[in-house]
Amino acid sequence: MNIPANLKYTPSHEWVRTEADGTVSVGITDHAQAALGDLVYLELPEVGRKLAAAEACAVVESVKAASDVYAPVAGEVVAVNTPVTDAPEQVNQDAYAAWLFRIKPADAAGLARLLDARAYEATIGDA
């Protein structure tokens, strides 16, 4: 299972990368995309939407199931990855390159509460 050490994670299987401009990119983990199977549809939040931490804000749908994506921190959506909505299979090909949306965090302290790679690996066990 691919769990990059430079990212943060949520127990609900989102990965989070802090960008140089202070925003955070959010996607689903390799574990999540593997569990879902071939993705066929993505519904992403609108730019400008204000999110609470742990709020359901996007949907990933596969041939097997649909799953909510949750905001890892509170903040405002500042970008969405439109090309990935046109080709959801990009998430299956490389979950960590295919970010879904970016948030400008309302409080940077929220990032400190996210899991590191080791803690995330412990939450998924040998799955």
Q: Which domains does the chain have, with CATH numbers?
A: 8-122 (2.40.50.100)
Asked if pLDDT for residue 49 goes beyond 70, the answer is yes
d(CA 26, CA 73): 10
pLDDT tens-digit readout, 51-109 = 999 999 999 999 989 999 999 999 999 999 999 999 999 999 999 999 999 999 999 88
pLDDT tens-digit readout, 101-126 = 999 999 988 999 999 999 999 999 85
User: In the structure, what pLDDT confidence band is assigned to residue 2 with cuts at 50, 70 and 90?
Assistant: confident
